[in-house]
Amino acid sequence: MRYGRSGRLALSVDADRLVTRREAPEQLETLDSSIRAALTTPLDFPPLEQAVIPGDRIVIALDADTPAADRILAAIWDVLALRDVEPEDVLVLQPRSSQPGAPADPRSALTRNVAGRISWQIHNPDEAEGGQYLATSSSGERVYLAAELIEADLVIPVGPVGFDSVLGYRGTHSVLYPGLSNAESITRALGEGHRELEPADQRPLRQLVDDVGWLLGVQFCVQVVPATGSGVAGVWAGCPESVFQAARECLEDAWRVELEERPDIVIASIEADAGGHGWNQVGRALAVARNLVAHEGRILLLTDLKEPPGDGLKLVRSADAPSEALSPLKSLAPADLVPATQCVEAADWARIYLMSRLDSDLVEDLFITPLEHPDEISRLLELPGQCVIIENAQHAYGRIQSGE
């Protein structure tokens, strides 16, 4: 199994105990040509070059978790350049990431001259101009967005389509809202997730996100489905509704894990992806494993995690039991509310074992057993019970078919 940035671990599991092994989809070998083909023949929309004229102000709203973002941006620029768009009229706008460290420059695949003239900006929702009034949604919500989006002639959302515990599915307009809104909207949108719902079930925030895209007049987007590591399994461009439908079909086929019965052991790995290798990825992987594993079963999570815990996880460390952390998490709603809640719910349901680079005492404070050597995993796998293996589990969605 691959994990972290370059980790590899060989596991031995008896064939009669292995219920399933869900491998991550492989990366597109023809990524650059696939991106360009999507831009040339988009879904239910004319080619991108017919949507712009010289002098247009163009904002590329880029999700920070987008794999191959630099190559997608380079392909979009090649189309814009054919229409004599000036680099100074193009802005790459990203929501502020919750991951520590400086984000990667998405202009790295452009020539030095063009990269220096295209603007790249991380949105600051805390500033007074962090959001200008756009309109009122169908649910009566006053929508505020970055002024650059409202003033643009063309907004192109670029990002991944994936499973999301709060939205059901992230993608298309979810890069716009709430991340490119003001601080109040971002805080209000914080949620714990809806583990009892299917991804396709109706969710108020997802409806609001789609309303925002419609109110802003977004007619074209570029979306991808992640593959193994930081790769791309599929890429689509065109009308947001058509792109979203096509990408969701690929996502379901590539990343949904459905079982008839709960296994005793779930082994999950996390490779570093476009969004990083932190607690967000750990929380998503644990949520998948918790949805599948038997009560009081074992979750073995393979990572290279070294990111320190955020405020929400610090609350967990101060609790006497996982369930005791839920109430303060709900009331304080820290920025890492979602991954902290996912960790708590998994620890309250099953026994979690974590391979990471974190201090063992810190891991134990989170009600997780640290794994310090591969031999410990081998010994755990010798215990009786059915086993499931999920690679790159942070992208997956797990469900027991009985609907329990």
Q: How far apart are CA 24 and CA 228, in angstroms?
A: 5
User: Cα-atom radius of gyration of the chain, to the nearest Å?
Assistant: 21
Q: Which of 152, 281, 162, 145 is nearest to 223 (CA)?
A: 162
pLDDT tens, per residue, the chain with 404 residues: 999 999 999 999 999 999 999 999 999 999 999 999 999 999 999 999 999 999 999 999 999 999 999 999 999 999 999 999 999 999 999 998 877 777 899 999 999 999 999 999 999 998 766 789 999 999 999 999 999 999 999 999 999 999 999 999 999 999 999 999 998 898 888 776 777 889 999 999 999 999 999 999 999 999 999 999 999 999 999 999 999 999 999 999 999 999 999 999 999 999 999 999 999 999 999 999 999 999 999 999 999 999 999 999 999 999 999 999 999 998 898 989 999 999 999 999 999 999 999 999 999 999 999 998 888 999 999 999 999 999 999 999 999 987 56
Residue spans per domain, the chain: 2-24+258-400, 31-253
Query: Which CATH architecture fits 31-253?
Result: 3-Layer(aba) Sandwich (3.40)
2-24+258-400 and 31-253, same CATH topology: no
How many separate helices (H) and strands (E) can be counted in the chain? 13, 20
SS3 for 193-211, per residue? CCCCCCCCCCCHHHHHHHH
Query: Which CATH architecture fits 2-24+258-400?
Result: Alpha-Beta Complex (3.90)
Amino acid 404: pLDDT: 61
Q: Which residue has the tokens 């925002």?
A: 212
Amino acid 97: pLDDT: 81
Amino acid 126: pLDDT: 86
Amino acid 37: pLDDT: 96
Burial of 141 (0-12, 13-18, 19+ CB in 10 A): middle
Amino acid 403: pLDDT: 59
Q: Which of 160, 156, 150 is nearest to 233 (CA)?
A: 160
Q: How far apart are CA 72 and CA 80, in angstroms?
A: 13
Amino acid 127: pLDDT: 78
